[in-house]
Structure formats: C-alpha cells, structure tokens
C-alpha cells in the first residue's frame, strides 16, 4: 500500500507542478493581452482626441452661431448657450434661476418662474439663428453683448 500511496503522491505533485506551470503561462498570456489592449486603447483615444480637437477647433462664427442657437432653443433654460459663447456669469444666472425655480416649484411659488429661463433661451435662440454670420460674430463674439 505504501508504494501505491507514493505513486499517488508523485502523481499529485506532478499534477500540481503542471497546473502551476499552466497558470504561469496563462498569466503571462493575460499580461501580454492586457498590454496589447492597453496600447490599442491609448492609440484609439489619441486618434479620437485629435479628431475632436480638429472638429471643435473650427467652431468659429457660423458653427458657434448654429450650435448656440439650437442649444438656446432646446436647453436655453439651463444657460448652455451662454457657456458656449463664453458668458459664464450669464450662464450661471440662467442655471441658478432654473434650479431655484424647480426647487421652489415643490412649494408652488416656483411654478411662476419655471418658464422664464426657457422663454429667454427660446428668444435668444431665434435671435441667434436669424442674424447673419457676420452680424452674429460682431455682436456676440467681438462685441460681447450678453443679453438679447
């Protein structure tokens, strides 16, 4: 019996050594695959970043006009169009009035004020889109006219 136990012990040790070697090879393969994936992800991110920079670097007069006009019509109550044009103070004013109105609408008082920022955004969006490119650029980007 002792020889049988010895043979089983030797077989178990061999199986353990084989499993250990297989695990080591698997971990090395996994590390290599992770490294390849990481390099591919970095390359893709760099390409995307370069493409985004190229796309947004040309956001001059006409592109900002259309973008600001559409955002003013759809998200005007949040002041997003003001942030696009570089008017941080005015953007925070619209955002603050909207948030305060929504909070106060729970009490009922805010229901009177919820629609005001949206109407301002709608009016400004229509004004942005109806101006010529040159007039928009001179008025809102060069002249820095913040409201209407």
User: Tens of pLDDT along 79-131?
Assistant: 888 988 888 998 899 889 888 888 888 887 777 778 888 888 899 999 989 98
At residue 57, the pLDDT reads 52
At residue 3, the pLDDT reads 61
At residue 27, the pLDDT reads 77
Sign of CA dihedral 73, 88, 116, 143: negative
d(CA 148, CA 132): 15
**35, pLDDT greater than 60:** yes
Cα 125 to Cα 7, 62, 98, 107: the distances in Å are: 85, 14, 17, 30
Those residues whose C-beta lies under 8 Å from the C-beta of residue 92, and which sit 6 or more positions away, are 79
Those residues whose C-beta lies under 8 Å from the C-beta of residue 133, and which sit 6 or more positions away, are 61, 62, 65
Record the pTM. Answer: 0.54
Question: pLDDT class for 147, splitting at 50, 70, 90?
Answer: confident
pLDDT tens-digit profile of 21-32?
887 887 787 778
Question: pLDDT class for 64, splitting at 50, 70, 90?
Answer: confident
Q: Report yes or no: 76 and 124 within 8 Å, Cβ to Cβ.
A: yes
16 three-state secondary structure = helix
DSSP 51-81: HHHHHHHT--HHHHHHHHHHHHHHHGGGTHH
């Amino acid at each position: 019996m002792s020889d049988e136990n010895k043979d089983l012990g030797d077989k178990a040790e061999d199986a353990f050594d084989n499993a250990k070697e297989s695990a080591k090879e698997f971990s090395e393969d996994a590390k290599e695959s992770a490294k390849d994936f990481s390099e591919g992800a970095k390359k893709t991110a760099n390409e995307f970043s370069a493409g985004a920079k190229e796309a947004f670097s040309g956001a001059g007069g006409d592109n900002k006009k259309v973008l600001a006009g559409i955002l003013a019509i759809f998200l005007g109550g949040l002041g997003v169009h003001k942030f696009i044009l570089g008017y941080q103070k005015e953007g925070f004013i619209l955002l603050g009035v909207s948030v305060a109105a929504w909070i106060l609408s729970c009490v009922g008082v805010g229901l009177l004020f919820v629609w005001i920022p949206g109407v301002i955004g709608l009016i400004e969006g229509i004004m942005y889109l109806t101006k010529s490119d040159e007039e928009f650029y001179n008025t809102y980007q060069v002249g820095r006219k913040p409201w209407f």
